[in-house]
Structure 1
C-alpha cells in the first residue's frame, strides 16, 4: 500500500474529499453480517486506506455534502433578518438588508454551481470558497461601521448565521483543522467589530459567538464522520453483495450451459437415440463445439454481446431463443402482444430471456413433449411471459424446486424486481411458468 494512512484521520484532516479513498483497502470483516461490537466495526471502517486510490465519481458525489451548510444559511440568514426588522424597524435596515441579500445570492450561486451539469473543477470551487470566505470576514466589520449602536448586536446576529454556516462549510469541504483555525480567528474578528462600533471590545458577546461556533463545528464534524463511515460501510456491503451476485451468476452460467450440454449428451444414449456410434460421436462433437463457443463468448465478449442484444427488443430476443431451441428439437410457438420496446430495460429483458431459456430446457428434459407455447403480454404494470406445455408435469411435493427453478428462474427474476410462478399438474396436464417484471 503506497503511502497508507487511516481513513478516519484522512477524513478529519481533508474533509469530504477524503471519502473518495473509501473504496480502497476494504477488509471483508467490515461487511460481515455476523454480530460484531459497534466499536470494533467502526475501528475496521476507520482503518488503513491507500490515499493514492481515488474514485472520481465518488469524489464528485461526496462534495455535495457542502449543500448542508449552504442550505442552513439560506434559511437562517433571512430568518434572522426578519427578527432584526421586527425589533428595530428601519434602523440599520439598509446595511443589514444588503448583507442579507448578498448572503442569499452567494448561497444561491453555490447551489447553482454544485448542481450544474459541467464537470467539477476543484480550482473553480476554491475561487468560490475564497470569495465566500472574504465576504464572511469583511461583513461584520462593514456592519460595525454602518449600523447604529442601538441595533448593532442584533445586526451582528444576522451575520453570525452566515458565519456559522461558513465554519460548517470549511469543516466539511476542507477538514476539521481548517474549520478550527477559522473558528479561532473569528473570535478576535468579532472583538474588533465590537470595538469599531461601540469603542469597546465586549468580551462576553465575542465569547458567546465563539462558543456557538464550536458547537457548529462539532455538528459539522459529526456529520462528516457519519457520512464518511456510512459511505465506507455501504461500499463494503455493496462489494460483498456484488461478489455474491457474481458468484450466483457464474453458477447459473455453468448450470445453463455446461451442465445442460452434459445432460444432453447423456440423454443421447437413450433407446430412442441412434445406435450408430459414428453418428453419436459427431453429435457429441457438435454439442461440445457449440458449448465451447458459447462459453468463450460469455467470458471474452460479454459486454459486446450485451450491447448487440440491446439493439433488439424483447420479442426478437425470444424469437432468437425459439430458433436456438428448435435446433435442439423443441418447437416453440411464440405469441407476442404489441409492446412498446422502450418500456422494459435491457437488464430486465435479458433476465426474462434467460429465465425463459431455462423453462424451455426443463420442458425439453422432463415433460416428454417437444412443443411449448410462449406468450408475452402486458400485465399489472409490467411484462408477463408465460411458457406452457402439455407434457407429463410434476408434483411439487415429490419434486421440490432444484437449482434451475430456484436460481436460474426465481432468483434471476427477483434480482430485477420480478416474480415467477411455476405451476404443474394443471387441467389438461403439463406445466406453466409465469414470469413477470415491472416496467
Structure 2
C-alpha cells in the first residue's frame, strides 16, 4: 500500500482509501435496513462492498449496536417527555382554556408511560430494538391516533405533532430508512382525518408537518451512519492494537525463554569432551523445561487470568526439569474464583504429589486435572507407576504436606494407590 492510497487514523489504524466508498455504501445500506436488522446483502450489492467494510459484526459488534439502540431509544423518549409540557404550555399561552383541561389526562398518561420506559431502559446496558419492533409499531399507531383525536379538541393546531416525531425516530431506528419513510407517508391520511375535524389543511401547513417528520427521519438516519462509522473505526483500532500487543508478547516470550536456552545449548563447553553424558542430561532437562513452557504458551495464547492455572503450569515446568512430563488439564474457569489460602493449599498439595511421582513412581509421566464439581474445586494428580500400599502408615509428605495442608483450610485430600497400577491423589476445596 502506498502513502497516497491510505488514510491513517491514529498510529494503529490504516484504512485503504480505495475501500472508503464501499465502506460508506455498506454503512448507508445498514442504516437503511435499521440498526437492529441482521447483516444482509441484496443481490445487487457487490460482495466486496458488503464484506470489506460493513460495520463490525460478531458478538462485539452486536453489543455495540445494541448500545447504540439504547442511546437512540433514550433520546427519543426524553425528547417526548420534554415536548409534551411545552405543547400544553403553548396552548395556555394562546389563551386556550378548555383544551388543556381535556388533554391533561392524556398528556399525563403519555408522560407516565415515557418516564416508565426511560426507567426501564436506563437499567439495561444494551437494548435490542429487533425484540421491540412490534411495540414500536404500536407506539406509532397510538401517536397517530392521539394526534388525530387531539385535533377534534383543538382543531386549529396540531398539538401532538411534535410528539409524533419521537415515534417516527423509533420506527427509523428499528426498521431503517424505509420504515421511517413509510411512517412519514402515514401522515397524509392522518392529516386528512385532522382536516375533517377542522384542522388547517392548506398546502403550507401540510408540507410543514411532513417536513417536521422527514427531518426526524433524516437526522436519525445520519446518526446511524455516523455511529456505524465510529463503531467500525473503534473496533478496527482495538483489533489492530490487540494483535500488535499479542505479537510483541509472543516475541518477548520466545526471546526470553526458548531463544536464550537454544543459544546456551549451542555454546561450546569443555565438559562436552570430559563429561558428555552429564552435558547430554542437562540438555535434555533444558529441552523438557522449554517444551513445557511452549506447551503452556500454545494452550493459552491470549494470556491467563486464572492464578491457579498459572501456578499449575509453573509446577509442570518445574517438574519437567526433573524429568517428569506433566499433562495438565484445567477446565475453563476452574479455580479462578478461589481465595489465596485455598489456592496455596492446592498448589502445595499438587507440588508434593508430583514430587512423589518423580521420586518414587518409577515413570516419567503424570496427569493433573482441575475441575469444579458441586461448588467445589477438585484437583486430581494421577500416575500409572509402581504404586504402594496405602494401608501402612503414610509418609510425612502425604500426611503433612498434602492431607494436613488441605484440612487446615477446610478442604479434603484423599490418596489412593494400587501396587503396580499407580496412585491417585484427589484434592478438594470450596470453590
Shorter chain as denominator, the TM-score bin is 0.5 to 0.7
Q: For residue 102 of structure 1, report the CA deviation from its aligned partner.
A: 3.0
Distance 2:226 2:74 in 1: 16
**Is 1:164 the counterpart of 2:170 in the alignment?**
no
The answer for the alignment partner of 1:69 in structure 2 is 76
Change (3 A) 1:51 1:57: closer
Change (3 A) 1:21 1:13: same
Q: Is the 8 A contact 2:169 2:220 kept in 1?
A: yes
Distance 1:95 1:83 in 2: 15
The answer for the alignment partner of 1:88 in structure 2 is 95
**Is 1:288 the counterpart of 2:298 in the alignment?**
no
Q: For residue 177 of structure 1, report the CA deviation from its aligned partner.
A: 1.0
Which structure 2 segments of 5+ residues have no match? 1-21, 42-47, 323-431
Distance 1:91 1:78 in 2: 16
Aligned-residue Cα RMSD (Å) equals 4.1
Q: For residue 196 of structure 1, report the CA deviation from its aligned partner.
A: 0.7
Change (3 A) 1:94 1:50: closer
Change (3 A) 1:91 1:175: same
Distance 1:85 1:274 in 2: 107
Q: For residue 66 of structure 1, report the CA deviation from its aligned partner.
A: 2.8
Distance 2:175 2:119 in 1: 20
**Is 1:12 the counterpart of 2:64 in the alignment?**
no
Distance 1:215 1:178 in 2: 14
Alignment of 1:332-411 (within 5 A): none
Alignment of 1:2-401 (within 5 A): 7-18=26-37, 49=54, 55-64=61-70, 65-88=72-95, 90-117=97-124, 124-147=131-154, 149=155, 152-153=156-157, 156-157=158-159, 159-198=160-199, 201-266=201-266, 269=268, 276-301=275-300, 306-309=304-307
Q: Is the 8 A contact 2:152 2:198 kept in 1?
A: yes
Count of residues in correspondence between the two structures: 290
Distance 1:272 1:125 in 2: 77
Kindly name which structure, 1 or 2, has the bigger radius of gyration based on alpha carbons: 2
TM-score (norm 1): 0.55
Which structure 1 segments of 5+ residues have no match? 23-42, 329-439
Distance 1:21 1:255 in 2: 45
Deviating more after overlay: 47-56 vs 292-301: 47-56
TM-superposition CA deviations, 1:382-406 (whole Å, max 9, x none): xxxxxxxxxxxxxxxxxxxxxxxxx
Distance 1:15 1:250 in 2: 41
Q: Is the 8 A contact 1:19 1:58 kept in 2?
A: no
The answer for the alignment partner of 1:36 in structure 2 is none
Q: For residue 8 of structure 1, report the CA deviation from its aligned partner.
A: 2.9
TM-superposition CA deviations, 1:199-228 (whole Å, max 9, x none): x63443222111222222221121111111
Distance 1:104 1:275 in 2: 93
The answer for the alignment partner of 1:377 in structure 2 is none
Distance 2:222 2:126 in 1: 29
Q: For residue 232 of structure 1, report the CA deviation from its aligned partner.
A: 1.6
Distance 1:211 1:129 in 2: 21
Distance 1:241 1:56 in 2: 20
Change (3 A) 1:114 1:76: same
Change (3 A) 1:118 1:58: closer
Distance 1:299 1:18 in 2: 38
2:304 is paired with a residue whose SS is helix
TM-score (norm 2): 0.56
Change (3 A) 1:121 1:12: closer
Q: For residue 136 of structure 1, report the CA deviation from its aligned partner.
A: 0.8
Distance 2:202 2:263 in 1: 90
